[in-house]
């Protein structure tokens, strides 16, 4: 349930953009009629309608995601709060100014915020967030936790740069595909790579457990 809720805004953004991109005249008329008051000039053109409509959908979906978690009395993670602020501010600017560049910066803002959070908490507060989240499941040397933290900082920093490269070097449709599937694939590959790196530290512990009578 939580996994679906986490990915719901992204899936809705992807699906609404793809549908609107294939029905641009309908999307322009629908957005202008129902949401024209949110757009400077009150009218949306066919070319810009898919991104504006998808942005509106992801704003609503992210708001609902937070409201559902609050209603279920579950914790709203810091990254979700940051994501909500970014999507409302940058998404709102995208809609009002008819400019998709604002929403294209949202993923980069989130990735860099995550990188800064991992770095600042470790460098200035002496708190390794990865160890805080996973320390109960993984027994690793302090140096390994430190290297993992640095790896995530660099990964999220690089991911923010890659997002901007794709956003400004390829079509908006290609960027939407990358945002939905490319980023997900990179995160999975990075996580698998870390799993392989950690295997040499976990294997001895497992062997000791099996040796116990």
pLDDT digits over 116-158, tens only? 999 999 888 888 888 888 777 778 888 888 999 999 999 999 9
Q: Where are the domains of the chain?
A: 1-98, 100-213
**pLDDT higher at 91 or 134:** 91
pTM score over 0.85: yes
pLDDT higher than 80, residue 9 = yes
The helix, strand and coil proportions of the chain, stated in percent and rounded to the nearest 5, come to 85, 0, 15
Angle of helix 142-169 relative to helix 183-211, nearest 10 degrees? 160
pLDDT higher than 90, residue 15 = yes
| C-beta separation of 66 from 80 below 8 A | yes
pLDDT of residue 10: 93
**pLDDT higher at 36 or 3:** 36
pLDDT of residue 105: 97
pLDDT of residue 209: 47
Query: Mean pLDDT lowest for which of 14-18, 121-125, 205-209?
Result: 205-209
- Cα–Cα distance for residue pair 109/9, rounded to 1 Å: 17
Tens-place pLDDT, residues 97-118: 999 999 999 999 999 999 999 9
pLDDT of residue 140: 83
Q: Which of 11, 52, 60 is nearest to 181 (CA)?
A: 11
């Amino acid at each position: 349930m939580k996994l679906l809720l986490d990915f719901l805004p992204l899936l809705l953004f992807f699906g609404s953009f793809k549908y609107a991109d294939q029905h641009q005249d309908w999307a322009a008329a629908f957005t202008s009629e129902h949401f024209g008051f949110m757009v400077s000039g009150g009218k949306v053109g066919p070319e810009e309608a898919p991104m504006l409509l998808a942005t509106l959908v992801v704003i609503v979906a992210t708001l609902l995601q937070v409201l559902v978690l609050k209603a279920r009395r579950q914790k709203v993670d810091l990254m979700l709060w940051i994501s909500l602020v970014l999507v409302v501010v940058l998404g709102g600017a995208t809609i009002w100014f008819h400019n998709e560049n604002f929403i294209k910066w949202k993923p980069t803002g989130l990735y860099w915020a995550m990188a800064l959070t991992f770095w600042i908490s470790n460098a200035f507060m002496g708190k390794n967030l990865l160890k805080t989240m996973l320390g109960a499941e993984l027994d690793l040397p302090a140096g390994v936790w430190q290297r993992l933290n640095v790896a995530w900082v660099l990964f999220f920093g690089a991911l923010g740069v890659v997002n901007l490269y794709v956003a400004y070097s390829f079509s908006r449709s290609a960027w939407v595909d990358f945002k939905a599937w490319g980023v997900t694939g990179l995160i999975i590959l990075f996580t698998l790579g870390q799993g392989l790196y950690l295997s040499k530290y976990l294997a001895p512990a497992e062997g000791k457990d099996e040796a116990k009578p």
